[in-house]
Chain A
Amino acid sequence: MPDQALRHLKVIELCSLVTGPYCTKLLADFGAEVIKIEPPVIGDCARRRGPFLHDMPDPELSGLFLHLNTNKFSITLDVTTRTGKDILKELIKQANIFIEDNPPRVMQKQELTYSDLERLNPRLVMTSITPFGQTGPYSDYKAYELNSHHAGGEGYLLPIHSDDPDREPVKPGGIAGDCVCGLSAALATLTAAYAMVETGVGQHIDVSKQDVLMSLVQHHVCTFANLGEVHNRLAKGFLMVLPMECQDGYIIITVVSNREWQGLVECMGSPSWALDEKYLSWANRHWYADEINPRVQAWVRQFKKDELSHKLQAKGVAAVPVNTAEDLAQSAQLQERGFFADIDHALAGTLRYPTAAYQFSRTPWKAMRPAPLLGQHNELVYCNRLGFGKEQLMKLREAGVI
């Protein structure tokens, strides 16, 4: 039995930067054959984004690219040329899944819409990932992750419990938003792939990053839709919502139930102020948060974040340190779960990479190959798969198609 869950899937990726490549990485890491199509010479623009190994910009040494493209094959192809488009169509004919992230009007102009491709391969699952989706007045709008977060509604709410109404709303950190959109696209794609085997028919999936990011704050959207309440990022005096300062960083202590509250009180050595019966309901603890928060903070300050987290968790309180990338890289928990793995790359050497959050009993995460060099698999795909001769490949290269 194959020990990779998606060995049966052949995927063509026509994407750049984070969202689309993260989507196909999730499939490639579990055995799907992902052929990544990159523009000749320049490649995926993630190759030009940092962080770079030893801070030396090089298209083969971008940590962002190396992480987002593990287990994939790379070919170069200019799909705006006639020949390039024909080759792309031939690849799509042989594939199960096609994932792309181009503006809808570009795909229309290039005659690469789902209705064009469905005729070539009726079992094809095609996923289009765009900032605002295939329909609606903003469908051709441009957006980077910053804009998507603010379009999706979480940006306006951050930082939560801000103490300064004059400061700007901010996006969630890092590339998390783009990655969640890629994850959602991967979920939708695999669901359609499942349905394709059941029914023999493929389909088109329209993933709008705005819609996905909105779904993450749907409770706020629903609050306005149902109650007419408008939310913003300003402080609301809730109980221990923000991390508290320790000796060596921050900790967040989340107390919801009375049992958790009592665990915290016990840990604090049951000071008399905390024994007040008025604190014995969730609603009251919020009501009196301005009394409670500074007192807990004063107590928290004497500890180190990991030490206090263990102490409170032993009493059943959800207390967790605010971790940095360094903390995670050194976490005994992540190490024991095998969250990091070493992968060897021809130019970057052996580096540690984060793997995945899920552990499958039969089909574990696997690094079969590192992220590809630009066009590394041209011969493999063009000659072995599509049957081009070596001479032909050379000509296509000279013509700038490959």
Chain B
Amino acid sequence: MNRTALQGIRVADFTWLWAGAYATGLLALMGAEVIKIESMTAVDQTRVMSFTIGKAFEGVENSYVFNAINLNKLSVKLNLKKPQAVDLAKRIAQTSDVVAENMRPGTMERLGLGYNVLKELKPDIIMLSSSAFGGKGPFRTYGGYAPSFACASGLANLTGYRDRTPNPMTGSTDLMAAITGAFALVMALNYRQQTGLGQYIDLSSVESQAILAGDALMEYLMNGRVQYRDGNRNRIMVPHNCYRCRGDDKWVSIAVSTPEEWNYFCEVLGNPSWTRDERFADAYERWKNQEELDRLVTAWTLNYTHYEVTDMLQKAGVAAMPSLSNEEIVNDPHFKQRGVSNTVEHPIMGKVSVFGVPWHFSKTPIKITKAAPVMGESNDYVFRELLGLSSSEISRLVDEGVIY
């Protein structure tokens, strides 16, 4: 089968930042034609900087961060402050299957591009609005970035050392919201495929992460108990931590669940006498005395590299894995063989490394067909070919500052 999974699906993409852009980015990776509608008055911030990584980029076409999450997309440049530009955006939506946006709730309506307007033009349109807290409720107008989602959702409270502040994580929470948005859209596409009906989806980024900590919510809802962060510790598994290894800031993660795994683990260590100590005789004793146990395990892991420990334990049937840095991931033999990493040719930046493939389809493989778009690079295709505007109309609209 020589096709992509979402071949034939077109997306009018008003998203920006990671939380929005990666949702449609995933659809683009799976073969949808995603047309990013961009404006010079509100440039996607990830084109110019990344506050997670602490980088500012020269101009708007030099961001490898923007590139990574907007692969395969097209771009048109419209000044949505002008009514004629809004009309063109409507016409793009009219030829699309999906509209996606993550501006503050109410912004699309103010622009004249709300669901009720677009539904009139295209009755089976599927529209996703993604925002920090969702489009309803007292906090609907409140803004947020990735760290805000981590904190408001409860994940930050569960992350970090027990004796330090809650930790807002790496920006990964934006991408969690994005994957959730993509899932909701594909669900709606399945429903439309069966019934011919479109619909509107209101997504809350905060809730997209609150639901991922379902066990902590259940614990409170059932028993009134609040969970707090506690490093790598688990509610019952011990050992369950990162242990320092030979080298500079090198660590291995080890998790032991069953009595069999504990026996395998002790064997790999050479069954030192302390493993038969009463303090570690069963899961409960190990849990109670885990700090002491962690010290003893570390005395062993310090003699080896994190890869050596992993190799020894995995061969014996114990779950272990180095805590990999970004450098180690890129150089890891498994990573290389999985084919998740790629390079693309970007018209301004040249060869750029991207991540690209989060899972593998056997028959409709994910293909990276192009780099993220240069702003407005698809003006000609979209306005002339898709919407059927003549060259003179287009140049008039360019002169009037409707199309940049």
Contact = CB atoms under 8 A, between A and B. Distances in A.
A324 B220 CA distance: 9
Interface stretch (B44-52, B80-88, B376-384): B44-52
Contacts of B322: 150-151
A238 B170 CA distance: 13
A203 B255 CA distance: 33
Nearest to A186: B183
A161 B355 CA distance: 24
A106 interface: no
A51 B193 contact: no
A42 interface: no
A73 interface: no
Contacts of B359: 184-185, 188, 205-208, 211-212
Interface in A323-353: 323-329, 332-334, 336-337, 339-340, 351-353
Given A173-B158, A318-B143, A63 B354 contact: no
A260 to B, nearest CB: 8
Which of A54, A170, A220 has the largest number of chain B CB atoms within 10 A?
A: A170
A230 B327 contact: yes
Interface in A201-222: 201, 203-208, 210-212, 214-222
Contacts of B171: 217, 219
A194 B5 contact: yes
B83 to A, nearest CB: 26
A216 B1 contact: no
Nearest to A67: B214
A179 interface: yes
A187 to B, nearest CB: 4
B167 interface: yes
Contacts of A360: 184, 187-188, 199-201
B157 interface: yes
Contacts of A84: none
B320 A147 contact: yes
Interface in B214-253: 214-223, 225-229, 231-232, 234-237, 240-244, 249, 251, 253
A224 interface: yes
B137 A333 contact: yes
A252 B166 CA distance: 10
Contact of B227 (A214, A245, A325): A325
B159 A179 contact: no
B210 interface: yes
B204 A337 contact: yes
Given A336-B136, A354-B214, A146 B155 contact: no
Nearest to A147: B321
B151 A250 contact: yes
Contact of B355 (A185, A198, A215): A215
Nearest to A218: B355
Nearest to A348: B222
B190 A5 contact: yes
A152 B176 CA distance: 14
A156 B324 contact: yes
Given A191-B5, A328-B217, A243 B151 contact: yes
Given A214-B329, A325-B217, A361-B199, 17 more contacts: A2-B195, A50-B236, A64-B218, A136-B338, A172-B158, A174-B215, A190-B187, A191-B6, A204-B363, A220-B170, A221-B355, A282-B49, A322-B152, A324-B220, A358-B181, A358-B184, A358-B202
26 contacts: A54-B222, A136-B338, A146-B255, A147-B319, A150-B324, A151-B253, A158-B160, A172-B172, A173-B156, A174-B227, A176-B158, A195-B5, A201-B1, A205-B362, A212-B358, A215-B358, A219-B171, A222-B68, A224-B325, A230-B327, A254-B51, A318-B142, A333-B139, A336-B137, A351-B221, A363-B199
